[in-house]
């Protein structure tokens, strides 16, 4: 299921986050009661969850496994792959909060294998959202917001899925400003929304743009492909690029890159 590309906005930083475009200003919605629910393996998602809680002054609850995953990445992946092969889900502890008491549920998770971490699958299987608004947020190495939201659309029972927010683990220090803009856009926080111009039309990449792409992506542990075309737009302090990339077997993806004056370019997410 393909969802729309999320517009990438960040106040002051001119940085990019994954959520849809909105008017320059957004009026806050009527008083709502929000709950932040999250699963975190390495504390990165916890950092974002706590930032949302802080900015909304709302309640928070953690999804915890009865048998926690090892902090070792290799062992975690090995167990997760075994569970996938066997068709089993990890047992989780009862949630400390009752979602029926809230109007808006934020659900946060790290991306595993292109979608939400498997403990979240257990939570979804055991939960009926009763028509409440569900706002996804996630952390990832390269991307996965769009694919995980597509899975939520299928598996979050009776939830009204809202636009989501995603951020690379390498960029989590940018979360406070990005989260603020995201919450303003949702109408859950007062403030002014920074509206960026649309990207220019895609065109063949120049040698200079290829160099920017390589500087942004070369340190990533896995090859991200070769840029074929690119669009761009001005941001505060530099330029944001949207590269169309061709990978192995001709698979296409889109990669967002920030290039600020005097700073090393960085990619903010991959949309596959």
Residue pointed to by tokens 């974002």: 48
Question: 157, 186, 215: which is the final residue of a domain?
Answer: 186
Q: Residue 268: in which H helix or E strand, if any?
A: strand 266-271
Beta-bridge partners for 231: 242
User: Is residue 5 included in any domain, yes or no?
Assistant: no
Rounded-to-integer distance, Cα 56 and Cα 60, Å = 11
Q: Residue 76: in which H helix or E strand, if any?
A: helix 73-86
148 and 230 fall within a common domain: no
User: Is residue 194 included in any domain, yes or no?
Assistant: no
Residue 263, burial from CB neighbour count under 10 angstroms (0-12, 13-18, 19+): exposed
177 and 86 fall within a common domain: yes
Output the domain CATH number for residue 55: 3.40.50.360
User: Is residue 165 included in any domain, yes or no?
Assistant: yes
Q: Which of 252, 226, 235 is nearest to 8 (CA)?
A: 235
85 and 146 fall within a common domain: yes
Over residues 199-217, the pLDDT tens digits come to: 999 999 999 999 999 999 9
Q: Which of 257, 218, 262 is nearest to 239 (CA)?
A: 257
Question: 186, 214, 234: which is the final residue of a domain?
Answer: 186
Q: pLDDT 10s per residue in the chain (272 long)?
A: 433 334 333 333 334 445 533 334 444 445 789 999 999 999 999 999 999 999 999 999 999 999 999 878 889 989 999 999 999 999 999 999 999 999 999 999 999 999 999 999 999 999 999 999 999 999 999 999 999 999 999 999 999 999 999 999 999 999 999 999 999 999 999 999 999 999 999 999 999 999 999 999 999 999 999 999 999 999 989 999 999 999 988 899 999 999 999 999 999 999 99
Number of separate domains in the chain: 2
255 and 143 fall within a common domain: no
Q: Residue 40 contacts by C-beta under 8 Å, 6 or more apart in sequence?
A: 46, 49, 62, 108, 110
152 and 253 fall within a common domain: no
User: Is residue 167 included in any domain, yes or no?
Assistant: yes
Q: Which of 104, 176, 160, 113 is nearest to 140 (CA)?
A: 113
84 and 137 fall within a common domain: yes
110 and 236 fall within a common domain: no
Question: 186, 217, 243: which is the final residue of a domain?
Answer: 186
User: Is pTM beyond 0.85 here?
Assistant: yes
DSSP structural state of residue 106: E
User: Is residue 38 included in any domain, yes or no?
Assistant: yes
User: Is residue 15 included in any domain, yes or no?
Assistant: no
User: Is residue 40 included in any domain, yes or no?
Assistant: yes
Helices (H), 156-243: 175-186, 207-217
Burial 57-93 (b: 16+ CB within 10 A, else e): ebebbbbeeeeebeeeeeebeeebeeeeeeeebbebe
163 and 213 fall within a common domain: no
182 and 207 fall within a common domain: no
Which structural domain, as residue segments, surrounds residue 69?
34-186
238 and 172 fall within a common domain: no
209 and 87 fall within a common domain: no
User: Is residue 39 included in any domain, yes or no?
Assistant: yes
119 and 45 fall within a common domain: yes
């Amino acid at each position: 299921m393909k969802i729309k590309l999320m517009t990438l906005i960040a106040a002051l930083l001119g940085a990019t986050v994954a959520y849809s475009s909105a008017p320059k200003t957004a009026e806050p919605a009527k008083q709502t009661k929000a709950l932040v629910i999250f699963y975190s393996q390495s504390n990165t998602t916890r950092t974002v969850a706590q930032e949302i809680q802080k900015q909304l002054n709302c309640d928070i609850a953690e999804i915890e496994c009865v048998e926690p995953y090892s902090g070792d990445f290799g062992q975690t992946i090995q167990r997760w792959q075994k569970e996938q092969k066997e068709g089993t889900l990890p047992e989780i502890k009862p949630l400390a909060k009752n979602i029926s008491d809230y109007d808006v549920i934020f659900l946060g998770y790290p991306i595993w294998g292109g979608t939400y971490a498997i403990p979240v699958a257990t939570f979804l299987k055991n939960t009926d959202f009763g028509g409440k608004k569900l706002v996804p947020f996630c952390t990832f190495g390269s991307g996965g917001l769009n694919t995980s939201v597509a899975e939520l659309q299928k598996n979050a029972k009776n939830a009204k899925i809202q636009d989501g927010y995603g951020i690379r683990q390498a960029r989590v220090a940018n979360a406070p400003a990005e989260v603020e803009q995201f919450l303003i856009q949702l109408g859950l926080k007062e403030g002014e929304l920074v509206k960026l111009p649309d990207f220019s039309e895609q065109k063949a990449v120049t040698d200079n743009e290829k160099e920017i792409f390589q500087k942004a992506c070369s340190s990533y542990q896995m090859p991200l492909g070769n840029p074929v075309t690119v669009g761009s737009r001005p941001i505060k302090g530099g330029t944001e690029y949207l590269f169309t990339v061709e990978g192995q077997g001709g698979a296409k993806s889109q990669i967002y890159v920030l290039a600020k004056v005097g700073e090393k370019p960085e990619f903010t997410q991959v949309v596959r």
